[in-house]
Structure 1
Amino acid sequence: MFGYYFKLGVKSLRRNPALTALMVLTLAVGVAASMSTLTILHMMSGNPIPHKSDRLLVPVLDVGPKEGYTPGSPPDDVQATYPDVKNLLSAPVGVRRTAMYGINLAVEPARTDLPAFQQQGLAPTHDFFAMFEVPFKYGQAWTEAEDKAGADVVVLSTDLAERLFGKTNPVGKQVRMSGYSYQVVGVADHWKPLPRYYHIISGNGEYGDEEAFFLPFSTAIRHEMGHAGSMSCNVRNAKPGFAGRLEGDCTWLQFWFETASPGDRVDVQSYLDSYVKEQHRLGRMERNQPAKLYNVMEWLEERKVVGSDEKLSVWLAFGFLALCLVNTIGLLLAKFSVRAPEVGIRRALGASRREIFSQFLVETAVVGLVGGTLGLLLSYGALALMGLSTPSMKNLAHMDLEMLALTFVLSIAAAVVAGLLPTWRACQVTPALQLKSQ
């Protein structure tokens, strides 16, 4: 019977075409408003690396001065100092460890037709690529030996490699950036996790473009490359110049641990607690506050990557959808009320209330299906307009298969919910009264 009712529902779309079009448009607008905002929130709050997010850990050490500090207050900055990074890189816990900071360099192409241009990159240690599963199109990451030696090597992004060398394998070639030449050892394939959880404090931002290049951390330090981002220094032991930044308690670096299993987090926490006590005895970490440890999702929550404004906008959009449903209920009541004689005749011929209810409910589902199709098109249009606002929004404003399926489910469910009252009213028609009126 469902197939028969579905055919009746399709045919019913031609009855009162103006009323039907108004219902479909009302439902489509409500679905588009809610799904476009929900898609943005979904992209912002998704788990960027779900299969190992509980094994990637960020340590936060409080190196601020004791003067003026209120016990229990959060650290002045959640980034790490260079002395702590050097110590943590040799820590006996975790299967991988990496430190990084953002850099902004001038790329100096060998081609005469291409002028110099600025690019945002990252300076991590070699474990970065395996830890965050960066895919490679050509070559590979630099080795641990090159990391220790501070070798002048570079991994390019696919976009930058094609801009400099075309669609060829550039491994082994030289790239000159900010006065130094670097040998290309690899080309990273397109890799843009959203949000950019591995380096969200500075650089390209939480939803910015992919890194244009990667230089070894030790190489960037050897060349005294400035960082792209924020920095906080303990003024009591601050020293001038780049060397002073390395020696003092200036927080400007990002650090990550990777453990073999989620249970190994306890070992990392124990090590950090011991490390804080040791540094306190040496005269550092005057506040003597316990180290904090965050996995990927905890880190995104702590950094408030998804703000209350985004969540509020979703609630407002669904409130607008509810308003559209109220209007759809009124339109369905009007549509079904004029069919009371038809219902009376069908009841008189033996149709049960259940059959009438099923028929009309399937008809509302057909309206929801058509409204969902139109709503999907409107959602794509709304996301395209949102993507024009900022570069970061462009990276977020696209719909995946999950949201695509949810759009149709939401539209059909919304139409069915809106049709419950009109359908129930239609089932209450008294056959005798309708036959007498004919």
Structure 2
Amino acid sequence: MSYPDTQRLLASGQGVRRTAIFGLNDAISPVRADMAPLLVNGGATTSDFFAMFEVPFRYGNPWHADDDARKADVIVLSRATSEKLFGDVNPVGRELKLGDASYRVVGVFGDWKPLPRYYRIINGNGGAFAGSDEFFIPFSTAVRHEKRNSGNNNCNGDGPQPGYAGWIASDCTWIQFWFEGANAADQATIKAWLDDYASEQRRLGWFKRPVNTRLRNTMQWLEHLEVVGRDSRIQVWLAFGFLLVCLVNTVGLLLAKFSARAGEIGVRRALGATRREIFQQYLIEASVVGLVGAVLGLALSFAGLWLIGKQSGAMAAVAKMDWSMLLATLLLSLLASLIAGFLPTWRACQVRPALQLKSQ
């Protein structure tokens, strides 16, 4: 959205919290004689941002709302950026030069890299799955220093008047805005306020088009931007289809295997083995087959993920196996083998000892 709209929404009092953010690219001057200028990507936002998105802090804290109001020269660094500049120490209170201005470090956030980077998908360096923000400064401070956004800048008509003041006074859109609501009722209240605001601005001539406000929650926003593309959904369905084909083939192979051992089953039944014991034995055999398949499948999965990760940085960020996925893979394999082995095992238990012994 535009800067004038952003200012009005920040002052609206709607929601539990609200924040605006736009991207920045800049250089941090060397803080030691042995280092070169450090090119960094970050954002200009408000103090509410850190609480809204639950940013964990390693050192210090976010700046306060008072810092937003007085346009203070303060900065929050990422852990990696802090260690590049100052080493593995607490840098809170230190000074650094970003661009042409000096900033005081008030905090260092920890290992925080949500995937996808839903809070700044548009204009975020690296897109939804790659890249990260290395610093944050107050939104008002960035405007005071006439910082330009690092991303899209969409303008209508003849565009803005010359200069930075003309740009921020125009209807050019370059800022992302978030509201935080406590419940669904808050979302409805915010939506009604936005409708009223848009109607008023249209009457005043600021908005030229009919009112068409949209207020999406996080999941709706991700779906709207198609962060998970249709190809990925098709691949998931193909994977389940392949699993179904494998189950059918496993059932057929186990039926053939257990049918070939009908004579053995007949002898064991004649010697006193119960159907329950036969059922348990063959179901365990099916489980072992599933476990071996799971191990081989995991090996192939790790190899496939490694190859996918080599394609791009964005793919490498998501092509990883976590513990929950690893456990789910093992459990799914065992469950599938038990399901596939149930029918062959039940058929094996129906063998009549007398007929088998007589046939032999």
TM-score if structure 1 supplies the norm length? Answer: 0.77
The reply to whether residue 314 of structure 1 matches residue 271 of structure 2 is no
Verify the 8 A CA contact 1:103 1:203 in the aligned structure 2. Answer: no
Candidates 101, 105, 112, aligned match of 1:191: 112
RMSD (Å) for aligned C-alpha atoms: 2.0
The reply to whether residue 339 of structure 1 matches residue 266 of structure 2 is no
> SS at 1:256's partner residue?
strand
Q: Partner of 1:277 in structure 2?
A: 199
> SS at 1:92's partner residue?
coil
> SS at 1:112's partner residue?
coil
Inter-CA distance 237–378: structure 2 relative to 1 (3 Å threshold)? closer
Aligned-pair CA distance for 1:99: 0.6
> SS at 1:293's partner residue?
coil
Verify the 8 A CA contact 1:209 1:395 in the aligned structure 2. Answer: no
Structure 2 Cα separation of the partners of residues 344 and 83 of structure 1? 86
- Structure 2 unmatched ranges of 5 or more: none
CA offsets 1:198-227 (integer angstroms, 9 cap, x no match) = 111121311123311111111211222221
Q: Partner of 2:14 in structure 1?
A: 93
Q: Partner of 1:6 in structure 2?
A: none
Q: Partner of 1:108 in structure 2?
A: 29
Structure 2 Cα separation of the partners of residues 428 and 415 of structure 1? 20
CA offsets 1:131-184 (integer angstroms, 9 cap, x no match) = 111111111111222212222211000000001111011111122222322111
The reply to whether residue 371 of structure 1 matches residue 318 of structure 2 is no
Q: Partner of 1:391 in structure 2?
A: 313
Aligned-pair CA distance for 1:256: 0.8
Aligned-pair CA distance for 1:190: 1.0
Aligned-pair CA distance for 1:355: 4.1
Amino acid at match of 2:79: T
Q: Partner of 1:12 in structure 2?
A: none
Q: Partner of 1:288 in structure 2?
A: 210
Candidates 237, 252, 263, aligned match of 2:174: 252
Candidates 179, 185, 197, aligned match of 2:100: 179
Candidates 227, 230, 235, aligned match of 1:305: 227
Q: Percent same amino acid at aligned positions?
A: 55
Structure 1 Cα separation of the partners of residues 195 and 14 of structure 2? 13
Correspondence list, 1:22-421, <5 A: 80-204=1-125, 205-236=127-158, 238-421=160-343
Aligned-pair CA distance for 1:367: 1.8
Aligned-pair CA distance for 1:292: 1.4
- Structure 1 unmatched ranges of 5 or more: 1-79
> SS at 1:232's partner residue?
coil
TM-score if structure 2 supplies the norm length? Answer: 0.92
CA offsets 1:73-93 (integer angstroms, 9 cap, x no match) = xxxxxxx11110000000032
Aligned-pair CA distance for 1:329: 3.1
Verify the 8 A CA contact 1:234 1:248 in the aligned structure 2. Answer: no
Verify the 8 A CA contact 2:20 2:177 in the aligned structure 1. Answer: yes
How many corresponding residue pairs? 359
Larger RCO (alpha carbons 8 Å, 6+ apart): 1
Verify the 8 A CA contact 2:159 2:172 in the aligned structure 1. Answer: no
Aligned-pair CA distance for 1:312: 0.7
Aligned-pair CA distance for 1:264: 1.5
> SS at 2:102's partner residue?
strand
